[in-house]
Chain A
Amino acid sequence: MAIFVDETTKVIYQGLTGSQGSYYGRLNREYGTQVVAGTHPTKAGTDVDGVPIFASVAEAKEATGATASCIFIPAPGVQGAILEAAEAGIEFIVAITEGVPAHDEANFYNRLVNDFPNTRLLGPNCPGIISPGRCNIGITAGHIAKEGGPVGIVSRSGTLTYQALYELKQKDIGVTTCVGIGGDPVPGTSFIDCLKAFEADPETKAVMMIGEIGGSAEEEAAEFIKNHMTKPVSSYIAGVTAPPGKKMGHAGAIVSGGKGTAAAKMEALADAGVRVGQNPTEAGDLMAEIVAGLASSSPGVPG
């Protein structure tokens, strides 16, 4: 099993006709993802590499039975695209686009909570999700991940997610699902949402969590891990030496008023029993130790 998406997931690409959408749509399809449709308001009836284009998500869903969508639409259109997908009954929406205004994010987050409680949004400003060997939705290079488990990954940062997948692959450790939740102030899916799903997934035996400075999502995750997780967790927090008041690339990565520091997050995680690395390599080494421990205590577990 994997979390959120697997080989049966059918995906509609909103923005498949654009340059980014067509490029990553093709790569995802080559990976094995069921890319069943694209949408464009005026290009219905055409196709992109043989994938049919529909005028709306509702029509695409009706024709294909898709349950997920992936959004490659420019920032001004993201709010409309997310609500269109939710209204059409899409259950899992992945928004890759960066640069979406924070007020839009707060608005569609609450619209989904209030009116579409069964729809999960991942992103915006995220690399997407990959269940290695089964399904890859977004911009992660599929071959840097080893399939099979036993590790689940959840991360706020794109390139550090790749780094984590790669470190584990070098050590011959497989991944059930890797979720990039994105670095924006209001992510649709939180660390806790993913931790909960990994805890419930029998195939996932351990979780690697990659955070960064800003906000209090890591502290909240630590609280959850302390009280609800039975599976071991390793972690790394980027931005230990970031100066206060400066946004470090991501809209959400800023230390303000002494809050959101890496030190506070690492302390909260360590206090919850998480094994915290000082850099991505060390976090990978810690996960290798955890996995080795799993293998010796329960023979037959892959990895």
Chain B
Amino acid sequence: MDLFEHQGKEFFAQFGMPVSPGEAVFSVDEAVAAAERLGTPVMVKAQVHTGGRGKAGGVKFAADIDAVREHASNILGLDIRGHIVNRLWIEKASDIAEEYYASFTLDRSAKKHLGMLSKEGGVEIETVAEENPDAIAKIWVDPTVGLDEATTRAWVAAANLPEAAVEGTVDILQKLYVAYTDGDCDLVEINPLILTPQGNVHVLDAKVTLDGNSTFRHPDYEQYDETQPRDEREAAAHAKGLQYVGLEGSVGVIANGAGLAMSTVDVVNQVGGKPANFLDIGGGANADVMAGALEVINNDPAVKSILINIFGGITRGEEVANGILEAMRRVKIDAPIVIRLDGTNADEGRAILAPNINEMLQMEDTMLDAARRAVELAG
């Protein structure tokens, strides 16, 4: 789960990190009112789940209220890498002497937490990594050991930050590590972490990704789930508890298991079609789940045919077949369905489906043939 910048800053503030005062707003009038309360100058910042906001014109300095009005009206509705801005963060402007970068994430190869610190902040870290890799000081933290102050100091020294920034940075990094671990984050990133002319180290941006598997420990994360960017189809699938990712094509895909669903999307592409979605209905394929999945796919106007690819492991073929028929009785399906059913008791399952085969419900023996047929039907 990705947080908006302002949610990330509120999250960091809970762990005692210094962030600027600000307000999240949804209209020009609210932006002006917030700026009047905060006092100009302020920054007007687009809140979207993507990078490159500055380059796209989504982050502006406003010296006075007129400028706030102008920038807010320009930025609201802006398309930044496919994300439409409908939320702004109005923040008290900060004086900047220097910009740094700091983050923690899980290094899947090392199986330890990876901390990165650089005195070259304010630009994308991927660019720094490519052009000047020595400018990034890295540290690997064993989660069973944690990050103590002495190690943090050595890390900050390795990054060659100026003396004036050392104490503030050590303090923020230690709090950032606690936020990262206590908060079950996949990623915490501050870019830029700034040094002000007055000598204060301050969090100027916040990127936080939370682990969706950790919500049993963090019931308050439900508020962030509600602000995840999802298209209509994804929102409907999410409400039904289905693993759905919207794609651009015309072949609706339903499969059991993430790997098989990914593989089905691949095969549709390989035979010259375009999948409309990725949808994993999980190991079981009972009528309720199948009906929900068919409903979501059916509501997508782009879908011209539906490919159901089921491998019965523990789930038996006849259960799957009955599930599909029951689902079709409950949901009026507009696009023709092609089924590939294999694995446990596939023959029994196919026998159940056989009398129901017609133009709207077809069956193929293999994954490849089923994909070809579905692509053909999609036109």
Contact = CB atoms under 8 A, between A and B. Distances in A.
Interface of A: 24, 27, 75-76, 99-103, 106-107, 109-111, 114, 127, 139-141, 143-144, 155-163, 166, 183, 185-186, 210, 212-213, 215-217, 220, 236, 238-243, 246-253, 257, 262, 278-281
B132 interface: no
A235 B238 CA distance: 32
Interface in B227-275: 243, 245, 247, 255-263, 265-267, 269-270, 275
B214 interface: yes
B349 to A, nearest CB: 14
Contacts of A215: 108-109
Contacts of A281: 366-368
Given A102-B186, A185-B106, A158 B262 contact: no
B266 A241 contact: yes
Given A102-B186, A279-B267, A279-B368, A250 B258 contact: yes
A158 B267 CA distance: 18
Interface core residue of B106, B247, B275, B311 (most chain A CB under 10 Å): B311
B111 A106 contact: yes
Contact of B269 (A210, A213, A216, A240): A240
A220 B109 contact: yes
Contacts of A250: 258-259
Contacts of A186: 106, 108, 111
Contacts of B216: 75-76
B79 to A, nearest CB: 17
B217 A101 contact: yes
A248 B246 CA distance: 11
Given A162-B257, A241-B275, A253-B258, 12 more contacts: A102-B211, A102-B213, A106-B106, A111-B144, A155-B259, A162-B313, A185-B106, A240-B266, A248-B278, A249-B259, A279-B263, A279-B267
B344 A159 contact: no
Interface residues of B, number: 50
Nearest to B49: A245
B263 A160 contact: yes
A243 B247 CA distance: 8
17 contacts: A24-B314, A103-B106, A106-B143, A107-B143, A114-B142, A114-B144, A139-B313, A140-B313, A155-B259, A157-B258, A159-B313, A186-B106, A238-B263, A247-B245, A249-B259, A250-B258, A252-B108
Given A110-B112, A140-B313, A217-B108, A239 B343 contact: no
B91 interface: no
Contacts of B342: 163, 166
B269 A241 contact: yes
B109 A102 contact: no
Interface in B322-366: 342-344, 366
Contacts of B313: 127, 139-141, 144, 158-159, 162
B18 interface: no
A183 B260 CA distance: 13
Interface in B91-109: 106, 108-109
